[in-house]
Amino acid sequence: MIYLASGSPQRSKLLFDAGIPFEVLGSDGDEDAIHIPHVMAMALERARVKAQGARIAHLMPDWPGQGVILAADTIVNVGDQILGKPKDADDARRMLQALSGTRHKVVTGQCCLIPAHNGQEMREASFVSFAYITMRPLSDQDIDAYLDTGESSDRSGGYAIQETADQFVVDREGEHDAVVGLSVTAVRRLYHELTGEHLPEPEAEV
């Protein structure tokens, strides 16, 4: 069982579509307080803080001994700018203007954690996934129309490639899921590393 320390509907959908059983937990971890110059290290540490926040808030001291806490954090990196989730529409506009016509990196850190229980120490494994996105130049009209969709809200970099922002993408190098917000491939690997077991595969369509 996966305990997903995230309220992100896109992360839940990725796990559901992959046929992986999970439950959603909240987290008291304050990832916004984590600022590290290296974008990959920052994404990993933020994911770790979320996982630890879920452990402390929900699952201790009565950890049942089964299942793995999963947390993830996605950051967009262009030049020397690190872009998280926009604070408001103006912030989303600034981000889209910064990404317009660029080849930028989208980084997702994943952390899996098994709390200490039955005399066993806490175990943790993490992995960073990334992809490069090439975005066509965006006009003011493009940005205004996209902001009107509301998709920028709560999305790293101010856009959602899995929704209508795919119209802005010229090229993608790397894993699509990492851009959406969670690498299912990485989750499977980390779960196996911690438990020695394999997560279920999606049922084949008849």
pTM, to two decimals: 0.91
pLDDT digits (tens, 9 = 90+) for 62-108: 565 568 999 999 999 999 999 999 999 999 999 999 999 999 999 99
- Report all structural domains of the chain as residue ranges with CATH numbers, in order of start: 2-195 (3.90.950.10)
- Of 73, 88, 90, 148, catalytic: 73
Alpha-carbon span 128 to 195, nearest angstrom: 19
- Angstrom CA distances, 15 to 10, 109, 130, stand at 9, 16, 18
35 CB-contact burial (10 Å; exposed 0-12 / middle 13-18 / buried 19+)? exposed
Residue 121: count other Cβ atoms within 10 Å of its Cβ.
9
Is 73 among the catalytic positions? yes
Q: How far apart are CA 77 and CA 58, in angstroms?
A: 32
Is the predicted pLDDT of residue 60 greater than 70, yes or no? no
pLDDT for 203 equals 74
What's the length of the chain?
A: 206
CB 154 within 8 A of CB 181: no
